[in-house]
């Protein structure tokens, strides 16, 4: 099911629940109930519950957005390190240089065409991707410099291999969901309590109040969907992309 459809259904469902409960409550209310006589303490509690829940939602959105940004940074760091290796091996003999570059191209091509799909669908990197990266590492580390110029380039190349490996590990660790289950429980429970406090204010069946209650519940549904969408950096709507690989290695996606 498309994510935009999930969002639309969630927002409509939230509005429908509030409207239905309001109508049912209005019909079952006693004849002597006066909606204007809401105790001041309930209004005060409703205000602070809304404020606290807004802060929690803001922190949750900031947390998942930071995780998504960090995931994109891992991709950028890995692609940049591999590109640096590919460029710096120009001081090596043609056979060693071409072998390293070919293995880097093979690795990048596999990442953007196959491993990326596995990350999105299954939430982990692949063993073949690890083997292809190890081949690049071995190409660089096993070469014995023949000249002083090559020897000077050798250690920086090892540093770039290490940087690429660290970025790959970080990418692998950020493929799953970042929000713990207990946090989701708190967010959903907080939404129920926050929306439920609307009825503590004895909402009436006027068009204005019904519209505002529906919009309020739809807004909370949208924010929860936004958190869920950002929660898995590589597999949902607003995801980290493989563009850094494709920009530095234009032929990788072919």
**pLDDT tens-digit series, residues 60-105:** 888 888 888 888 899 999 999 999 999 999 989 999 999 999 999 9
What are the C-alpha distances in Å from 59 to residues 72, 164, 191, 229? 20, 31, 15, 15
| pLDDT per position as a tens digit, 223-242 | 888 888 888 888 766 677 88
| pLDDT per position as a tens digit, 19-60 | 676 666 666 655 555 555 555 666 667 777 788 888 988 888
What pLDDT sits at residue 164?
A: 94
User: How open is the CA angle 53-179-217, to the nearest 5 degrees?
Assistant: 35
What are the C-alpha distances in Å from 247 to residues 38, 39, 93, 112, 237? 61, 62, 26, 12, 21
* Residue 113 CB contacts under 8 Å (≥ 6 apart), including other chains: 252, 253
Mean pLDDT of all residues belonging to the chain: 82
What are the C-alpha distances in Å from 41 to residues 3, 107, 183? 40, 63, 28
């Amino acid at each position: 099911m498309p994510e935009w459809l999930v969002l639309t259904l969630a927002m409509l469902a939230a509005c429908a629940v509030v409207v239905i409960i309001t109508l049912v409550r209005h019909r079952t209310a006693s004849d002597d109930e006066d909606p204007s006589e809401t105790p001041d303490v309930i209004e005060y509690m409703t205000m602070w519950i809304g404020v606290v829940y807004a802060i929690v939602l803001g922190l949750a959105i900031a947390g998942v957005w930071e995780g998504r940004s960090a995931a994109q940074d891992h991709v950028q760091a890995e692609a940049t390190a591999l590109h640096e290796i590919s460029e710096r091996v120009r001081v090596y003999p043609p056979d060693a240089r071409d072998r390293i570059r070919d293995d880097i191209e093979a690795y990048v091509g596999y990442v953007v065409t196959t491993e990326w799909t596995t990350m999105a669908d299954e939430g982990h990197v692949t063993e073949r991707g690890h083997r292809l990266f190890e081949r690049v590492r071995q190409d660089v580390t096993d070469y014995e410099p023949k000249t002083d110029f090559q020897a000077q380039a050798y250690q920086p190349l090892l540093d770039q291999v290490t940087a690429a490996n660290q970025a790959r590990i970080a990418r692998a660790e950020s493929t799953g969901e970042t929000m713990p289950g207990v946090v989701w429980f708190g967010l959903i429970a907080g939404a129920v309590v926050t929306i439920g406090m609307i009825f503590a204010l004895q909402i009436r069946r006027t068009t204005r109040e019904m519209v505002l209650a529906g919009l309020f519940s739809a807004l909370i549904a949208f924010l929860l969907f936004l958190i869920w969408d950002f929660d898995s950096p590589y597999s949902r709507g607003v995801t980290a992309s493989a563009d850094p690989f494709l920009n530095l290695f234009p032929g990788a996606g072919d």
